[in-house]
Amino acid sequence: MPSLLSARFHTTVAQSRQLPREGLPEVAVVGRSNSGKSSVINLLCNRRRLAFSSSTPGRTQALNFFALGPPDTAQAYLVDTPGYGYAVAPQELRGGWDALAGHYLRDRAELRAVVLTVDIRRSLTALDRRMLEWLAPELPLLVLLTKADKLVSSKRQTVVRETAAALAELRAHDTSLIAFSTLKKIGVDEATRWIERQLG
């Protein structure tokens, strides 16, 4: 199975017709703006600036594809999706949150799994719940409770328990939950194994 450590930028997709057509497996990373999504991608791929901070409101939203596998031979893609949650972006509140990303997450045959980043201090927000309802129910999901270093261990465990209960109500299928910190390197090996397994 391809290693996340082999990740390199492949392409930016601004329209569905630009999506790769080789049929390689993909794992998408989704989450609210500022939930730590870029930090997670950069840490898991051990690259300081693979995923840029691209959370400027109103900016054209796009999917960024990172290729995994030996140099010059993509075997899979890790896909960064536009952060959601800015009140000034009304399209995300209509039907499909974002036409491109919403369509991609719902209909992409190559999509094997989704990683959702959630700030542990906010837990699941209304928009996160809407996002989860949007996904195909059988798609394997990994929820990362990010910035876990911001909470003491006991409080962290409480949020993990409460979030697990909320997820169990929202989804019947294959859902994993990990407390994660880029700062303290919490949950890194477990998240890496989970993602690589989905692509193997």
Q: Encoding tokens for residue 31?
A: 């989450």
Q: Encoding tokens for residue 57?
A: 């409101």
Which residues lie closer than 8 Å to 166 by C-beta, 6 or more apart?
123, 124
36, interface contact from Mg ion, ligand GDP, none, CB < 5-8 Å by kind: ligand GDP
CA distance 86 to 62: 16
Residue 35 in contact with Mg ion, rule: CB under 5 A: no
CB nearer ligand GDP, residue 44 or residue 74: 44
CA distance 193 to 189: 6
Residue 198 in contact with ligand GDP, rule: CB under 6 A: no
Residue 182 in contact with ligand GDP, rule: CB under 6 A: yes
Rounded least distance, CB 52 to ligand GDP, Å: 9
- Binding residues with ligand GDP: total (CB under 6 A): 18
- The residue range among 31-39, 141-149, 157-165, 187-195 that interacts with Mg ion, by the rule CB under 5 A, is 31-39
Rounded least distance, CB 86 to ligand GDP, Å: 11
Q: Give the SS3 label for residue 16.
A: helix
The residue within the footprint of ligand GDP, chosen from 6, 61, 81, 146 (CB under 6 A), is: 146
Give the H/E segment covering residue 167.
helix 153-170
Q: Which residue has the tokens 């569905």?
A: 16
**DSSP secondary structure code for residue 7 in this structure:** -
Residue 181 in contact with ligand GDP, rule: CB under 6 A: yes
CA distance 156 to 73: 40
Residue 64 in contact with ligand GDP, rule: CB under 6 A: no
Residue 47 in contact with ligand GDP, rule: CB under 6 A: no
User: Nearest-CA neighbor of 101 among 8, 14, 36?
Assistant: 14
Rounded least distance, CB 45 to ligand GDP, Å: 13
User: Of residues 50-69, which lie at the interface with Mg ion (CB under 5 A)?
Assistant: 53
Q: Which amino acid is at 113?
A: A
The residue within the footprint of Mg ion, chosen from 38, 64, 81, 198 (CB under 5 A), is: 38
Q: Encoding tokens for residue 176?
A: 């994993």
Q: Which residues bind ligand GDP (CB under 6 A)?
A: 31, 33-39, 53, 55, 83, 146-147, 149-150, 181-183
